[in-house]
Amino acid sequence: MSNVYDAANKLASEIRQSEEFIKYRDAKKKVLANPDQKERIEEFEKIRYEVQVLSMEKGEKSPEKMQKLQDLYTILIDNKDIKEYFDLEVRFNVMVADINKIIAESMEDIFVK
């Protein structure tokens, strides 16, 4: 019988060695090394978080915040490095979501009533 914890640690190691992780990590370091870019990305992330919380907790959408988020995103992706960072973030998050889906599907039969 295999040890689930060993498998989880192996998966964590594989993720850290994946192209998606390495490129995302490197792009993040690059953009956050620039104080101006870091500040603008942090502002974007703050607004994105507020929009998500508002949507999840209250089921509401703030057109003003959504527009501000879209405007800021449009400005940010004009920067080649920031656009690459955002694109790599999406790729990494898709990989993590796929892994989570695979794990969840393996336990599907115990959650189905």
- pLDDT, tens only, 37-83: 999 999 999 999 988 888 787 777 778 888 999 999 999 999 999 99
Count CB-CB contacts under 10 A for residue 50. 14
CATH annotation of 4-101: 1.20.1500.10
pTM as predicted: 0.84
- Residue 102 clears pLDDT 80, i.e. is over it: yes
Q: What is the pLDDT of residues 4-34, one digit of tens each?
A: 999 999 999 999 999 999 999 999 999 999 9
Give every CB contact of residue 38 below 8 A, 6+ residues apart in sequence.
31, 32
- Give domain limits for the chain: 4-101
CB 22 within 8 A of CB 91: no
CB 77, CB 31: distance < 8 Å: no
